[in-house]
Structure 1
Amino acid sequence: MTVKLNIIVANDSCEVDGGAALVALEDAQALARKGHRVIFFSACGTPPVNQTGIEWISLGQRTILDEPNRLKAAVNGLWNASAANALGALLTQLPKESTIVHLHGWSKALSGSVVSMVHRKGFRLVCTLHDYFSVCPNGGLYDYPTRRVCTRQPMSMSCVSRNCDSRRYAHKVWRVVRQFIWRYGAGIPRKFDLMIAVSKFSAEKIASHAKGSSIEVVDNLPTLQQSALQSMEQRSAVVYAGRIAAEKGVDLYLEACRIAQIPAEVWGDGPLLPELRQQWPDANFSGWLPKAELTKRLQKAQALVLPSLWYENSPMIIAEAAAAGVPVIVSDHGAPATLVEDGVTGLHFRAGDAADLAEKVAQLHKDPQYAHVMGQTAYKRFWMDYDARAHGRIEQIEACYQKLLGAAE
C-alpha cells in the first residue's frame, strides 16, 4: 500500500488493561511503522513515554468502574458527551477522504457516543469486536447466575426480563437502558461501516444477532520475539493466566487442581481475585504480570488451562502459550476449541466440568513427555510462518481501510 492514511485508533484506555487494549496498541504501532499517521484516542490512561510515531490523546477520565462519583459514572456509561465532543473536535481537523476511525473498546469509558459522533461527522468507522457488547447488554452472551452461555435473543423480552447480570437485576436494567441508547441513539452495530471479528467463531456468533452487517475476520496475533524452546526438565506448573472474573472459570481450574492433587498457579488480576485468594489459600496467586514477565514464566510452564465458561472470542494467551511451546487445555466451546487441536497442540475438556478438567490436568502433569511433544508442535506451528502472518494481518487491515475509503468517494 502506498497511500498513507490518518488513522484514529480509539479505545477506552491507552494502557494495557486487557486483550482489547493490547491489540489496539500493537496494531497502532504496526500501522505507524507502515508510515501512516496514527492518533491513539482514549478516555483513560497515561500514554506511554517510549512510543514514538504515534500521537496520543487521553482525556484523563476514569472508567465507569473506577469513577467514585457513581451518578457521573452511570451517566457517562450511558453517553460520554465529553468524549464524543473531543473526538468531534479532532475529526474537524482531518480530511474525510483519507481518514479512518478504528474503534476497539468503548464499554468501559468512551460509550456509544463516539460512534454517533463519527457518523455525524461523515467519517468511515471500523470496529474490532473483542467481546459481544455490540449486541448483548452484558457483553458476554453469558448468564452469570446459572454460569452458562446465554441462548436468548439479545434485547428480546426474554433477555430484558432475565437477571443474567454478574451483580443484581437493577444493574441489568441499567445495562438494558444503555444498550437501547447505544442501539437506537448511537446506531450500534448498524453504523459500523465494517466490523472486524477476531475469529471465525465470533464472526458467526455476532452475525447471527446483527443481520446484514459487514464482518471481516482478522485473527489476533500478538507481537512476540522468538526464543529457544525450553526443555521438558525446565517445565513444571500447570497454570491459569488471564483475567480473574466469573465467566473465565478460574474457580473451575482451582477445583480441578484440588481433585488432581497438583499445585495451582493463577497469573492475573480481576474482580474475583480477593475472593478466590480467601477461598483457596493454598493456591499461588501472582497478581497482574507485565508482558515480559508473563512471557518469561510461560517458558517454564508445563501446560496452560483456559477453562472459560463463556464464548471466548480469541484469547491472546493461546498464541502466547504456543509461542512459548506450552500446550493449552481449553473448554470444548467457543473460539479456543477451534484454535487448539485436541491431542495435538493441547486438550479439550467438557465446558464447566471440573472432573473432566481434572482428568486432563492430571494427564499432562503425570506425563510431561506428552505435554512437551504437544508444546513442541504448537511452537513449530506458531513460528513456522509468523513473520508472513504478522505482515499479512496488517495488510489485511489496511485493505479494509482502503476499501471503505474507496467506497466513500
Structure 2
Amino acid sequence: MRPFTVVICVDHAFVSGGQSKVAIESALGLKAAGARVIFFSACGPADARLEAAGVETVSLGQHDILGNPSRLDAARQGIWNFEAAKALDETLSALARERAIVHVHGWAKALSPSIARPIQASGLPAAYTMHEFFLSCPNGGFYNFQKNEVCPLKPMSFACWTTHCDSRNYPFKLWRNIRLFIAEHVAHLAETFSDILLLSDLQEKVLASCLPAGAAIHRVTNPVEAEPLGHKGDPTDGGFLFVGRLSAEKGAFLFAEAAQRVGVTPIFIGDGPIAGELAARYPQAQLLGWRSPAEVRAAMRAARALVFPSLWYETFGLTALEAKAMGTPVIVADGCAAREAVEDGVTGLWFKSGDGESLASAIRELRNDAVIAQMSNRAYDAYWASPATLERHVAETLAVYDRMLARATR
C-alpha cells in the first residue's frame, strides 16, 4: 500500500455513542494498517488509545450542541461552527501535496455544515459514513417522535416544515430545518462527498431519492468487538435482554409490554429519558443501567435471547451482531435495519414492527428450550462464518479509499 493520509472528522473524540466508537476504532485500525491518520473533532478529551497508537489528534475542546451552557451559542455553533471550519482548513491546507482523503463520520452534534467549505477548498476526495440520516432528514431519523412512528414526509417539503416531529419541541424542529437548509443550499454539504458509505440494505432503500447525484455508494461493515467463545454450555439459561438507549423510538416500552403479556421479566441494560417511566409502569422489569462493554458482552452471552424492538429504521443494529457473536438468538423488529443480521426462524425471529402481540408471540416461541438451543448454535455459527471484525472493516474501508485515490489521480 502506498502511503496516504486520512483525516477522520467526527463530533466527539471520545466514545459518546456508536458513531464516535466506530470512528475511533476505524482510526486505530487504519493506523495499524500503515496509514497516517489525523483525527479531527470538536469535542474532547481525545480517547487515550488514539495518542498511544500514534494517531494525530486535533480536538477543539468545544461543547456539543446539547452540552453547551449557552443556548444561543449552541444554536449558532450548530448552524455554522466558524472555529471548526477554520481549524479544519488549517489541517487540510497542510496536506495539499499529499495523497490524502477526508472521511466524515459525523457533524450534526458539534462540527456543523461549515466543515464542507474547507473540504471543498482542499480539493481532496471526501467520504461520508451514514451512521444516521442527518444529510437528508432534519431530525436525523426519518421518524416522528411525537407519533412514535416512521415519518413518510419528503424531507424539507412544506409538510415537513409544518410538522412537529422532533423529540423536544417545535421551535427546535424549525431550527433543525434551518440547519439542513443551510447545509443544502449554502454549504452544499452532501455534494462535498464523492463517496457515501452505507451500513445496510434498508439505508439504501430509504435514501434512494436523497443521496447526492453522482456519488459512489459503498457498503462497509461496522466492527464488532467479540471473541469466539464457542457454543454456549446451556443456551436455555438466562432471560430476555434489551441493550441500548432507553427511549420510546428504541421500543423499550413495547418490549416491557410484550414481556408482561407473556409473564417473563424484561431485562434492560442502558439508560435514557424514559427510564423513570419505564420503572414506574413496569415494576417487574430489571433496569441495570449502563454497563462496560465487557459486562454487556457477558450479559449477552448469559441471556436466552436479545430483543431488538426498535420502532425506527436504525442504520445497522450493532447489538444484534454482538449477540449473535455470543451465541444468543435475536428477536428483531422487521422494520429496522437490524433485521438484516437475523435469518428469521434460523438465528432468531422477526416480529411485526410496533406490534406488541407479535413480539409477545416471538418471546413465547423462544421459551421453547429445543428451539432456543438450536437457534443459539446457528446464531453463533452464522456470525463466526463471516465475523464483523475490525480487520474486515479496515479492509473494506481501504478498498473504498483505493478507488477514491485512483479517481483523484486520474
Coarse TM-score class (shorter-chain normalised): over 0.9
Identity, % of aligned pairs? 37
Match in the other structure for 1:164: 165
Which structure 2 residues correspond to residues 8-407 of structure 1 after superposition, within 5 A? 8-50=7-49, 51-210=52-211, 212=213, 213-232=215-234, 235-364=237-366, 366-386=367-387, 391-407=391-407
Q: Which amino acid aligns with 2:362?
A: K
Q: Deviations over 1:257-277 (max 9, x none)?
A: 111111111111233334433
1:252 match: secondary structure: helix
Give the TM-score, by structure 2 length. Answer: 0.94
Displacement of 1:49:
2.4
Q: Is the 8 A contact 2:127 2:194 kept in 1?
A: yes
Partners of 2:376 and 2:216 lie apart in 1 by 36
Displacement of 1:407:
1.9
Partners of 2:67 and 2:193 lie apart in 1 by 28
Q: Is the 8 A contact 2:46 2:59 kept in 1?
A: yes
Q: Is the 8 A contact 1:234 1:300 kept in 2?
A: no
Q: Is the 8 A contact 1:28 1:54 kept in 2?
A: yes
Partners of 2:253 and 2:132 lie apart in 1 by 22
Partners of 2:18 and 2:321 lie apart in 1 by 12
Structure 2 gap segments, 5+ residues each: none
2:191 match: secondary structure: coil
Q: Is the 8 A contact 1:33 1:53 kept in 2?
A: no
Partners of 2:113 and 2:284 lie apart in 1 by 43
Structure 1 gap segments, 5+ residues each: none
Q: Which amino acid aligns with 2:15?
A: V
Partners of 1:288 and 1:340 lie apart in 2 by 25
Q: Which moved more, 1:142-151 or 1:127-136?
A: 142-151
Q: Is the 8 A contact 2:9 2:105 kept in 1?
A: yes
Q: Deviations over 1:112-146 (max 9, x none)?
A: 11122211222221100011111000100011122
Match in the other structure for 2:408: 408
Q: Which moved more, 1:64-73 or 1:199-208?
A: 199-208
Q: Is the 8 A contact 2:311 2:336 kept in 1?
A: no
Q: Is the 8 A contact 2:14 2:20 kept in 1?
A: yes
Partners of 2:244 and 2:261 lie apart in 1 by 22
Q: Which moved more, 1:398-407 or 1:147-156?
A: 398-407
Shift in alpha-carbon separation, 1:277–1:112, aligned structure 2, 3 A? farther
Q: CA RMSD in A?
A: 1.8
Shift in alpha-carbon separation, 1:370–1:45, aligned structure 2, 3 A? farther
Displacement of 1:34:
0.5
Displacement of 1:390:
5.2
Shift in alpha-carbon separation, 1:351–1:299, aligned structure 2, 3 A? same
Displacement of 1:217:
1.4
2:46 match: secondary structure: coil
Shift in alpha-carbon separation, 1:271–1:61, aligned structure 2, 3 A? farther
Displacement of 1:406:
2.3
Partners of 1:342 and 1:401 lie apart in 2 by 34
